[in-house]
Chains A and B, each alone.
Chain A
Amino acid sequence: MSPETTIDERFDEIVSALRAEMPPTPAALHARVVAATATPSAPPRFTARRILRFAVPAVAGLSVAVALVVGLDTAIRPPSQENTALARDSAPAPETLVTPASGESGAAQDRAARTLAPTQSKSQSAPAAPAPSGSRAQDYNATIVLLVDGTEELSGTTQRALRTTRRLGGYLVSVNYTTPEPGAGTAAVRVRIPVSRVQAAIVEFSELGRILSQNTQISDLQQPLDEVTRRIRRLERNTARARGAERERLLAQIASLRRERTEINRRAAFATVSLDLTTHAPVEPAPAQGRLGRALDDAVGILLAELVIAAYVLIVASPFLVLLVAAFVGSRAYRHHADQRLLEQA
């Protein structure tokens, strides 16, 4: 008898009595058991442990294989034209919109629209904005967005823009200057420049910072101006023949049309330039990836998607799993209690 099986010596007598009367095993039972255990049964081919042992690596391997196949497919496939175009364009192209007047010749329209203003860095030569027409009244609007370095430069550049405007004979319409946080801010400056000097103004403004975008819009005003002039002349001829109230009415109409013509001429005399200054650098588009980079990207994306799906399934299934485990543990505890009661009553 080993030390760890030692029973309290108080019970030595009864223990000895019990051990002295070991009931013998019946011979028939011995024969039955020998017969039953003579031929070992084949272990089941599919057990839960065996299935798990192979299933888990198989599923993991399949996930990786799918990701590799997708990645290889991306590597083999030539890149799409859209991706190539995106890779080539590193900065937005400036826009130039020309609104021709009705009746203007096609050649004049072409001249107005031909010259574009490319986006250039500060160190390069100033861009050429479309030149205003020297023979026709036009409504000239230009917008330039410049990147400046910090709020100090923002302030200095705004001042320089205003000085340039005054020097070129223009005037300030409005300025909106904001610095919401240290080192960052914006300034929206709107000025009117004599149309004959607008190109010079645009050149000088462009040198104040790094051009992020440029937009020029030209609307022809000559046609409405000519129309107003014709109406004035017609009314003046009619006024010469009219008398009394009719004459007064015609004179009033002429005065109104003259005011309208003055307004058109004023619009045509000055170009509107909107200068937007900002300290926020634009987000640079990512450089184009090679085949291997795209393949790796796609493969990793697939793996991440599989992980996300697995996590989602686990999160959704976890309450049910918890309930299942709780039910299993509970049923075992109940079974144990019920067995104990059965043994105590038997």
Chain B
Amino acid sequence: MKPVTRSLADAAEKHLDDVYRYVLYLTRDPQAAEDLAAETFERAVRLWHRFDPARGSERTWLCQIARTAALDHLRAEERRRRRENEYAGRAVEEPERLVEPLSPWLREALGTLSAAEREVIALRVILDLDPTSAGRVLGITPTACTTRLSRALEKLERNARSARVA
């Protein structure tokens, strides 16, 4: 039986690192990741009464909220970029972002992956979620989750080898 944290404050203390790492891998933007992690727990405060331990762990539930917040952020960014490009009449250069606190070769290798590939790596490797829980966060089956992870790791390993050589 999964242990249940008594309050959301305890859950936040326990899972803040995981949520932050997940959204960092998803967005590759430390500032955005910080904001999204804070927003995740603000949403969790409002939705805590709907958390059902029988349906999954707190960490899985928090990751689902974080993913929703990240997707809202990505959609908003996409709309902003489109408006700016339309206004400028050309593709506008993205401003420099803070770099993730990772080794250069890993940062470069991760940069070649899509957000979908990075998030499955974050959930399965960094957060060490099982395929079922990760699949629940991503909205796919455990088998599809495992397949996606294999492809993402293959691509990462190949690009990491190239980045190291470079």
CA distance A47 to B47 in the complex (A): 12
> Please, how many angstroms separate the alpha-carbon atoms of A345 and B75 in the complex?
11
Provide the residues of chain B in CB contact with A34, threshold 8 Å: 9, 12-13
In the bound complex, residues from chain A placing their C-beta under 8 Å from that of B13 are 34
Q: Which residue of chain A has the shortest Cβ distance to B106 in the bound complex?
A: A21
Q: Is the CB of A7 within 8 A of B102?
A: no
- Is the Cβ of B103 less than 8 Å from the Cβ of A21? yes
Are B48 and A5 within 8 A (Cβ)?
no
Which of B16, B116, B119, B150 is close to A30, meaning CB atoms less than 8 Å apart? B16
CA distance A24 to B37 in the complex (A): 13
Which parts of B34-60 form the interface with A (CB within 8 Å)? 34, 37-38, 41-42, 44-46, 48-49
| Inter-subunit contact A344/B126 (CB<8 Å) | no
Q: Is A252 an interface residue (CB 8 A)?
A: no
> Of residues 157 to 206 in A, which have CB atoms within 8 Å of B's CB atoms?
none
* Interchain CB contact under 8 A, B102 and A5: no
Interface majority SS on B: helix, strand, loop or mixed? helix
The digit string for A67-80, where 1 denotes a CB below 8 A from any CB of B, is: 00000000000000
Chain B window 134-166, contacts with chain A (Cβ cutoff 8 Å), 1 for yes, 0 for no = 000001000000000110011011001000000
B69 at the interface (CB under 8 A from A): no
In the complex, the answer to whether A37 meets B9 with C-beta atoms within 8 Å is yes
Whole-angstrom CA separation of A1 from B130 in the bound complex: 10
B129 A5 Cβ-Cβ under 8 A: yes
Contact B126 A13 (CB under 8 A): no
Q: Are B157 and A40 in contact, with the CB atoms below 8 A?
A: no
How many pairs of residues, A versus B, come closer than 8 Å at their CB atoms?
122
B114 within 8 A of A: yes
Given contact pairs A24-B101, A346-B74, A17 touches B37 in the complex (Cβ within 8 A): no
- What is the minimal beta-carbon distance from B113 to any residue of chain A, in angstroms? 10
Asked if B71 and A342 make an inter-chain contact with CB atoms under 8 angstroms apart, the answer reads yes
B17–A7 touching, CB < 8 Å: no
Q: Contact: B48 with A40, CB < 8 Å?
A: yes
Shortest Cβ gap from A35 to chain B (Å): 9
Q: Is the CB of A1 within 8 A of B128?
A: yes
Nearest Cβ on chain B to A14's Cβ, whole angstroms: 5
Across the interface, do B125 and A29 meet the contact criterion of CB distance under 8 Å? no
Could you jot down 18 A-B contacts, CB within 8 Å?
A: A11-B157, A19-B126, A23-B100, A24-B17, A26-B20, A29-B20, A29-B37, A34-B9, A37-B8, A37-B41, A41-B45, A41-B48, A336-B139, A342-B74, A343-B26, A343-B114, A343-B119, A345-B114
By a beta-carbon cutoff of 8 Å, the part of chain A in contact with chain B is 1-2, 4-5, 7-8, 11, 13-15, 17-19, 21-26, 28-30, 32-34, 36-38, 40-41, 43-44, 47, 336, 339-340, 342-346
The 6 tightest CB contacts between A and B, nearest first, are A43-B49, A343-B116, A346-B115, A343-B115, A11-B153, A37-B12
